[in-house]
Amino acid sequence: MSKMLEIYTGFMVFEVKDNGEHFKLEINEDKFCHHNGDIVLHPLQVVIIVKEELRRIFIWKGVSSSVRKKFIASRVASEIQRELMNLSAFHRCKIVSVDQGDEPEEFLDAFGFQKISIKFELVDPNIPFMTETGQLPTSLNQRIELKTVTIENLKKKRFSEEKKQPSYERLKKDQRLKEILKDVLKIDVPENFKRKNILIGNSKLYGMVTRKAEIFCEVVEEREWGNISNISQDIFELEGYKLRIHFNKGLGEIEAIEILEKIPSVKKPSTKDIVDNYKKWTVKQLRQFCRDKGIKAPASFRKAEIIRLIIDFNASN
């Protein structure tokens, strides 16, 4: 039986064990994306990668992993999805199977990986990949010296050139987009407008995302700005919206475009409308209202005079 998840994040990696158990690896997306994911994507392993921003759960299967691991991985992925949805109100994600050496473009693009032709030379299949607590072995933390396979394209020269690969650049770009979003949200919107969406870069659309979580049998909703990936239309016509463009003079490029929605103006009732409303009340109702509000209405006052007292009271409060 799997351990209960304790910490929920938009990116998580789990290792699947032969007995059906799984545990969360202590690794962030930044570290995972380096060197084409070699720190985690080991030929003997089956790992489950949660990428909630893309609504995807990837089952990555190493070419030398056991048949049993591959067989039970789908069930484990479904268990993880149910656990996340029930306990942390994660969105339902599509479960995608990924075979090492035959990774789909969707998976490669998600993490900025490059397709690499590989051949395997197993050295010692008993070398531990991760510790039982989910921590990376000391050798990995020092310089990733785990050597269970020899990969043709992963020689020293490639490691020295890897820094220039798109995976690292993609990571920096995603971080930059988040920084731009924070800067945009700090700027006040024009009067009588509210933010509807924000376009950042040339591909990312941000909007308010609602998440629900059940806490002690009570459903709690949280709203925050997040990336919108599921869009039903191909073309949008914006009528009644204002666009605000954020231009970076130093780079000479547009960083973001805000879509601002006009807030409907609320017509304030005129004095005549207020008077007409109070005229519908009886004298008894007017005097009771005065008593409730602490308004002194002399017994000699007629209906019109009581209404004037109430209007003056409301105006001063």
**pLDDT tens by residue, the chain, 317 residues:** 444 444 567 889 999 988 888 888 888 888 888 888 888 888 888 999 999 888 899 999 988 888 888 888 989 998 888 888 776 667 788 899 999 888 999 999 889 888 876 654 444 444 444 444 444 444 333 333 333 333 344 444 444 444 444 454 566 667 777 888 888 888 888 888 888 888 776 666 778 777 777 777 777 787 787 777 776 666 666 777 888 888 878 777 778 888 888 887 777 777 777 778 888 899 999 999 999 988 988 989 999 999 988 888 888 87
Which pLDDT value is given to residue 98?
A: 93
Which ranges of 12-155 does DSSP label H, i.e. alpha helix?
A: 29-33, 67-88, 105-111, 138-143
Cβ pair 262, 192 in contact under 8 A? yes
Burial 1-26 (b: 16+ CB within 10 A, else e): ebeebeebeebbbbbbbeebebbbbe
Q: What is the pLDDT of residue 172?
A: 62
Residue with tokens 């929920």, as numbered in its chain: 8
Question: In whole angstroms, what is the distance from residue 147 CA to residue 44 CA?
Answer: 12
Q: Would you state the pLDDT for residue 237?
A: 67
**pLDDT confidence of residue 107:** 92
Contacts of residue 271, defined as CB under 8 A and 6 or more positions apart, other chains included, come to 311
3-state helix, strand, coil in the chain (%, to 5): 35, 25, 40
Model pTM above 0.85: no
